[in-house]
């Protein structure tokens, strides 16, 4: 993909799942990657296995602490030009509202919403000065359709889509490109790592994600949409791909479907 050749791409959530697949495909396309997740050791393993590992660097950050993460990133990156920011890091949820601690809702918002805002605000001024740049956020179909067991995840993903829409509107005269990616069910470890009501990890897959498309296919479709400078794209198959369209035109039908699932 020529769009990425020679560009510096800052990718969060790069050590597993969709992020890892994106990292591999971006490296093959000639991008220079800044790889971010919590664990430096895991990121270094990823960097070493990518095409042209010398082009890439590791920047470990705890995105559950967005202000601290932004400060550490600013110190590490300095004046480095970021051509594309891909906000991919995130955490999901599997718990009923009545059984979910308020602290879990805060953690979901910190990672899935406030970290996106913090890193976007960090790179935005220089992009606007250069009148060049591309900001991407991997949201979710859950940002369009609310479902059981994902109330906090839904809230964060609905919120981040609103933020991205506002960002697109405010920067449309500055040659900045803003893209929202909405994956449906993807076969990754997202369910295993999902937060339960007390904040612990679920620890096993669920049938929805296990039956989804591969992380590699999700990454391929997502990167194709980013290169085409799409504003918003749904990635997936089956009902999860159709859900936003159904929600728009037949919301009553969607409410009945999600109530029965």
The set of catalytic residues is 153
Closest CA to 86 of 142, 21, 14, 29: 14
3-state secondary structure of 187: strand
Strands 84-87 and 8-12, how do they pair?
parallel
Round to whole Å and give the CA distance between 44 and 59: 9
Q: Phi and psi (nearest 5°) for 78?
A: 55, -125
Per-residue DSSP letter, 134: E
Distances in whole angstroms, Cα of residue 42 to Cα of each of 15, 120, 146, 213: 6, 24, 33, 24
Rg (CA), the chain: 18
**DSSP assignment of 210-261, as one string?**
HTSEEHHHHHHHHHHHHHTT-SEEEE--HHHHHHHHHHHH-HHHHHHHHHH-
Provide φ and ψ at 10, rounded to 5°.
-95, 115
- What is the DSSP track for 6-64? T-EEEEESTTSHHHHHHHHHHHHTT-EEEEESS-HHHHHHHHHHSSSGGG-EE----TT
Picking from 69, 121, 89, the residue whose alpha carbon sits closest to that of residue 19 is 89
């Amino acid at each position: 993909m020529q769009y990425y050749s020679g560009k510096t791409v800052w990718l969060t959530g790069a050590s597993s799942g969709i992020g890892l697949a994106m990292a591999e495909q971006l490296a093959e396309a000639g991008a220079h990657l800044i790889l971010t997740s919590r664990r430096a050791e895991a990121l270094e393993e990823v960097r070493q296995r990518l095409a042209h590992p010398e082009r890439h660097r590791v920047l470990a950050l705890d995105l559950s602490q967005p202000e601290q993460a932004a400060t550490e990133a600013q110190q590490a990156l300095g004046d480095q030009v970021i051509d594309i920011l891909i906000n991919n890091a995130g955490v999901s949820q599997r718990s009923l509202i009545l059984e979910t601690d308020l602290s879990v809702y805060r953690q979901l918002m910190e990672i899935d919403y406030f970290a996106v805002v913090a890193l976007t605000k960090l790179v935005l001024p220089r992009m606007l000065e250069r009148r060049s740049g591309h900001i991407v956020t991997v949201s979710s179909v859950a940002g369009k359709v609310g479902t059981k067991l994902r109330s906090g995840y839904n809230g964060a993903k609905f919120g981040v889509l609103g933020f991205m829409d506002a960002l697109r509107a405010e920067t449309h005269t500055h040659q900045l490109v803003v893209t929202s990616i909405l994956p449906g069910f993807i076969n990754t470890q997202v369910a295993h790592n999902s937060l339960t009501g007390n904040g612990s990890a679920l620890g096993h897959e669920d049938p929805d994600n296990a039956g989804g498309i591969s992380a590699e296919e999700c990454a391929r479709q997502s990167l194709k949409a980013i290169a085409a400078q799409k504003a918003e794209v749904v990635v997936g198959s089956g009902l999860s791909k159709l859900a936003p369209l159904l929600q728009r035109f037949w919301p009553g039908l969607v409410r009945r479907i999600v109530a029965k699932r």
